[in-house]
Amino acid sequence: MSPKTAQELALPVGVTLDRFIMASQSSYPYATGELSQLLRDIALAGKIISREINRAGLVDIAGGNGTENVQGENQQKLDIVANIRFIRALKNGGEVCAILSEEDEDIIHTGNDHGKYVVAMDPLDGSSNIDVNVSIGTIFSIYRRVTPVNGPASTKDFLQGGRKQVAAGYILYGSSTMLVYSTGEGVNGFTYDHSLGEFILSHKHISSPSEGKIYSVNEGHYNGYPSFVQNYITFCKDNGYSARYIGSLVGDFHRNLLKGGIYLYPSTVKDPKGKLRLLYECYPLAFIAEKSGGKASDGFGPVLDIIPTSFHQRSPLYVGSGSMVDQVVKA
């Protein structure tokens, strides 16, 4: 065996998130660095939550808390922990004037009225999977505020519509922890290296395959789905597609983004608007889908075109590979 070269013995670790953010910022001559700082704050909160999740089986942090959130859903302890961690990181970071969280009815004013941005987030997504050591995630959506700086943020900062997002993304706490985000040009993914405490660029310019053979849907609700969804599911079965459903939107979305596939959370007879929340689940993932070449529909048109009316409104979601989304909505 020939000896390794010096280069081979000490391969570069790759591009850190910080360096990537700085390099991207320098291509915008008027960028002030505030959005960059905000992304770093989100990454920091993600690292802390990743640490908490990894210890969940050892400390009394898994399981239900005996409380309900604004949606009337049982809160897991980690839902509460993740919510606090994110709010604290964004308050301390100073760039965000207000936050909308799945866990709180009203917007949270950070006290940073000079901040130019607002963030809508699902601090912990897929929380029913915490107890059983299955992948979960965080979803975030960033807007530039429309209310004047140095005054309080208001409802209209959050109800601008999905097309006004300046950045969006998610953190996946899976077999490794990953941050995937877009500031509007391209989608990039970073894998967390625990030993370095850094996110390293691992998935450059993610491009959604236009076709796929995976469908992700809760078939337990099949009988309540509209006929176009039932027809599409039958088509998938007849054509040898694989069903893959974690029950963590971030995990299901991420798999389909890399491999090609579609995630469906339809309306049902019982829940005509489906389950997922528009502002901090559907919009940010629709943004990532479109920026990577995929699509997101509510069954009638692009999710990003929906005009929002309230903080916690719900929407059906069909998201993933472009031609699969096209097919389901006309099936």
The residues with which 181 forms a beta bridge, in sequence order, are 169, 188
Q: How far is the CB of 285 from ligand AHG (least distance, A)?
A: 10
* Residues 325 and 266: beta-carbon distance below 8 Å: no
Binding of Mn ion by 122 (CB under 5 A) = yes
Measured CA to CA in angstroms, residue 239 lies from 212, 233, 243, 294, 324 at distances of: 12, 10, 12, 21, 13
Give residue number: closest CB to Mn ion: 125
| 280 closest CA partner among 77, 103, 136, 141 | 141
- The span from the first CA to the last CA of the chain, in angstroms, equals 58
Q: How far is the CB of 45 from Mn ion (least distance, A)?
A: 14
Binding site residues, ligand AHG, CB under 6 A: 73, 102, 122, 125-127, 218, 247-249, 275
Detail the DSSP E strand segments found in 53-197.
64-68, 74-76, 96-101, 108-109, 117-125, 136-144, 167-173, 177-182, 188-193
Binding of Mn ion by 252 (CB under 5 A) = no
Dig out the tokens for 134 from the structure: 């299955």
Site pattern 132..171 for Mn ion (x: CB under 5 A): ----------------------------------------
Nearer to ligand AHG, 26 or 133 (CB): 133
Residue 302 contact partner, candidates Mn ion, ligand AHG, none, CB within 5 to 8 A by sort of partner: none
Part in contact with Mn ion (CB under 5 A); list of ranges 29-37, 50-58, 116-124, 161-169: 116-124
Nearer to ligand AHG, 218 or 231 (CB): 218
Rounded distance between C-alpha atoms, residue 64 and residue 71, angstroms: 15
Dig out the tokens for 8 from the structure: 């081979």
Part in contact with Mn ion (CB under 5 A); list of ranges 22-30, 58-66, 102-110, 211-219: 102-110
Under the rule (CB under 5 A), what is the footprint of Mn ion? 102, 122, 124-125
